[in-house]
Structure formats: C-alpha cells, structure tokens
Amino acid sequence: MQITVIGTGYVGLVSGACFAEMGNAVTCVDLDKKKIAGLKKGVLPIYEPGLNAIVKENYAAGRLRFTHSLPEAMRDSDIFFIAVGTPPGEDGSADLQHVLSVARELGQHLERYAVIIDKSTVPVGTAERVRAAIAEQLGKRGKSIEFDVVSNPEFLKEGAAVEDFMRPDRIIIGTGSKRARDIVQELYAPFNRSHQRTVVMGVRDAEMTKYAANAMLATKISFMNEMANLCERMGVDVENVRQGIGSDARIGYSFIYPGCGYGGSCFPKDVKALIHMALQNDFDPAVLHAVELRNERQKSVLFDKIVARFGGDLNGRRFGIWGLAFKPGTDDMREASSVVLMRKLIDAGATVSAYDPAAMDTAQRELPRAWFDSNRVRLAENQYDALAGVDALVLVTEWKPFRHPDFTAMKKLMKVLLIFDGRNQYDIEQVRAEGFEYSGIGR
C-alpha cells in the first residue's frame, strides 16, 4: 500500500519504518530540511533501539523515502498519517496548530479519495476539526472530493517502540466509515497474523482511549509513589508491598515500581491535557489532579533526602548522577526527574557530575548553557568517571549498566560512600555489606 507519514518524530518515524518493513511503500514528510537530509544519510534524530537498522534497510530497499514536500508525497499516496507534535499549551491543553496546518495542506492538494489518520495524541473532537479544515480548503478550490478521517492512536513505549509497533497489544481504529475501516484493517493485517488485535470504535471513543490509557498508567505510578512515601514513614519496605500486591492478577506488576517520578513526552502532557478537557466540560478531575500533584512532588524526593542528610547549604558538595533520560532505552529528557534534581542541587550550591548511556548529546543540547559555563555541571566520560570525588551517587534512571556496579572501584573514587537510589534498583543488604550508606524510595 502507498502511505505517507507526516512527521518524523518518535511516532512518525517508527510508524513509517515499521510499515515499510511489512512491504508497504512509505514516504515520510517533515518540514525540517536538515532532519530529512540527515535521514537520507542514515542519521536518525532520535535514539530508539532497533530503529536505526530498519530505517537504513528499508531506505536502501526503496520502500522508505524522505521528503520535506507534502504535495510531492501526495502524488502516489491515498493513506495519510498525521504524526506531528502536539505540545502542551500554557493552560495544559494540547496545541493542535501543527495538526491543523497539515490538514489544511492536505485539503489544498487532495485530488482523490483518501483516508487521513490521526496518529498524534489529540483531544477528543480533533478528527472533526481536521475534517472541517480539509473540507474548508477543498471548498476554496471548488472541489468535491470524498475523504475519511480516522483516529488510530499510538501505544508505543519509548525504548521499546519498534517492538510495540510490530507486536501490538491492540490496534484501535476509530471510524464510522466502512470504507475507511476496511482500508485501515487491510493495512494492519500483517500485524494481526497470530490473533486479532484490532478494536473498532467511534472516532471520539478512540481519541479518548489514548488519554485514558496514559492517565491510568500515570495513576498507577503516582499511587505507588504515594504508598512508598507512607511506607517510609511507617517503617515498611515498599518493595515487599509491591510484590505482595503485584501478585494479584487484578493489579499486576506493571507500572507499580516506586521511584522519583515519571517524565517523558506522554504522561505529563496527556494528564495535563485530560485535566484541561475535563475542566472545559465543567467536570472537576479530582483523581487526575492528585496524580499530577503527587508526580510533581515526587520529583523532589531525592533532593529532599539529600538535604536531610547534608543540610540545606550544599556549597562545596559534589554529586554524581547516573541517568539523565526520563527512562531507560531512550535519549529523551523531556520532563525528566534528573533535570529537576540538578536544578535544585545547583540552586543549593552543589556541583554535579552526570552520566547517561544514551542522553549525553541531549543533555549537552538541552540543559542550560550557564550550568556548563559556570562548571556547575560536568558530563562524565562514563559512569565511574561521574563518581570522582563525589559526596554521594544518585541513581535517577535504571539503565542496565548501572544494575551491577563495581563497588570496589566506586570506593576508590567516591569521597563519601553514600547511594541515593531513586529507582530501588539495589539490594539494601548487599550495598550496606559493601560499606555504603543507602537511601531508597519507601524503604
């Protein structure tokens, strides 16, 4: 099938590459000419395990193309995925300017029946606005061309996006058109070979499903962090509690790991957007407000522990941070707990040495230039280099290379043998047996 994907971020590039991997002819469109030039040379704008290989292979095979011109891509395609960014506005609402801009351009150049698919995470009612924007442009051209707008939300985890796309838990198709439904089901047929994963529903239902899914996962995380903080005050080890409740099939083990707060491009943004939608409809989303508040507070937990141990004046103190990305398997630092922690440490007078297996370039690009110029932040060559002369190690992101560290090497490097474990990654007894002081979350 001939497909055009507009947007080459996490969602667009992964979707385009995976559709091409299944034999489709895919053109990815992005206005950023530098990004398109890089993609043609095999330089990806994001880090995602497994993505680099399938992009290069399918580009070399001619199944995957890149262009900055949507009209050029439209000549051969009848299926268009809108996968552009929907950043949060100041009021928490999703900014749809890029989505609607794409819709208008589609309307300006559409010449035959097409299926336009919203892949971006968009508020309920967006498909109607996309349809109206396209229809308005067709009207200006004096054209009467049939088209359908479908909601097909993505459910990709950063760090496992390729695997999630190739082996999805579910494929949501939101449409009231049989013609569009049949086309989209045919497109996804190769991903349904072992068993049926497709769920067909109304467009607005599909749009809400994406937000409800992310809000539910964020709720589980915030709930467990709430329990962790209570456990810590009552002399209870939350890790035992986690295993006890996770064994209940109704709860499960996923997303009940206590930590120092969730981040990334999805959960914070989508919870805010869902709160905004609720308030617009005269409904007070009490649970969502609590989820967001707990997460904001949780991002300060590690700093609060540091202050409790060293006092509020951290001048002359250096801290080694392991992990900058908001989660393992990605270089994404959007809404990352590490950034909140570093800002608080620097404001309190401390200096920071930091290391991340994937996010060093991101950190160099996105952290405040003043932090580097004033030597308040140093990006280390490796995880042990980050520990030279530090008063404590602070684990923020639970990357695999951090799981079994060389404690002997650490003792030679660290000034104070102290670990603040923001993800409860280490065994307390083992760490203490090695001579380290230990502070976890809810332990």
User: Which residue matches tokens 């993609």?
Assistant: 39
Helix axes 203-233, 126-140, angle to 10 degrees: 140
DSSP designation for 404: S
Are the CB atoms for 198 and 368 separated by under 8 Å? no
- If one counts every other C-beta atom within 10 angstroms of the C-beta of residue 259, the result is 27
Residue 206 tokens, joined: 């599909």
User: Which residue matches tokens 């932090």?
Assistant: 371
Q: What is the CA radius of gyration of the chain?
A: 24
CA distance 223 to 297: 13
Residue 22 tokens, joined: 């299944």
Catalytic residue among 18, 28, 260, 266: 266
The answer to whether residue 266 is catalytic is yes
Backbone angles phi, psi at 146, to 5 degrees: -75, 145
305 alpha carbon, distance to own chain's centre: 27
Angle at the Cα of 414 from the Cα atoms of 412 and 419, rounded to 5 degrees: 125
Residue 108 tokens, joined: 């300006």
CA distance 417 to 437: 6
CA distance 160 to 222: 22
- If one counts every other C-beta atom within 10 angstroms of the C-beta of residue 134, the result is 24
CA distance 204 to 125: 6
5: β partners: 28, 81
CA distance 200 to 226: 36
Are the CB atoms for 117 and 79 separated by under 8 Å? yes
Residue 232 tokens, joined: 């810590």
Single-letter amino acid code for the residue at 18: C
Residue 48 tokens, joined: 């995602």
Which residues are catalytically annotated?
Answer: 266
